[in-house]
């Protein structure tokens, strides 16, 4: 009985955070380092505090559970263009919001200029994911490893 309780608690620790996910946003430098070390593609959101469509995306698009789910395979970076003019210039941003997708090596694969509601954002993310190089690491590699670890743990508990 005690072993079953331990396994149950372990599984809850995995499931509960997955149900309450939000997007982890990085600063530009930290996000690019994370993308490089984890070999993950990047979404960069260029915004301005005074931009109405940017505020609307912040309040309705990014918190949407469908968008959060699609973004989990990416490193998400926010760039305040009023503060980071250098980054805005580097990517030649002219309008807000602009969302740029980079492959794991930092090369641009696509961009979208203008407001995206949740459904359009999900479509845009999926379209950009489809443009990633085929040699990019698998996005779902974590789950087979986790399942294998749980099976081994279960076997050991039952022995």
Residues with a known catalytic role: 51, 54
- Bridge partners (DSSP) of residue 45 are 78, 99
CA 151 to each of CA 11, 45, 154, 158: distance values in angstroms, whole numbers, following the listed order? 11, 39, 5, 11
Q: Helix count (H) and strand count (E) of the chain?
A: 7, 5
Q: How far apart are CA 70 and CA 57, in angstroms?
A: 15
């Amino acid at each position: 009985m005690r072993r079953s309780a331990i396994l149950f608690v372990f599984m809850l620790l995995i499931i509960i955070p997955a149900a309450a996910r939000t997007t982890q946003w990085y600063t530009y430098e930290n996000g690019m380092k994370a993308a490089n070390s984890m070999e993950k593609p990047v979404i960069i959101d260029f915004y301005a505090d005074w931009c109405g469509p940017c505020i609307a995306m912040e309040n309705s698009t990014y918190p949407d559970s469908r968008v959060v789910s699609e973004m989990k395979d990416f490193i998400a970076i926010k760039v305040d263009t009023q503060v980071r003019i250098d980054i805005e210039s580097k990517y030649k941003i002219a309008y807000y919001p602009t969302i740029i997708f980079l492959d794991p090596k930092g090369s641009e694969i696509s961009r979208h200029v203008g407001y995206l509601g949740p459904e359009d954002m999900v479509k845009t993310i999926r379209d950009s994911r489809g443009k990633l190089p085929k040699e990019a690491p698998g996005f779902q590699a974590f789950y087979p490893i986790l399942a294998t670890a749980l099976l081994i743990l279960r076997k050991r508990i039952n022995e």
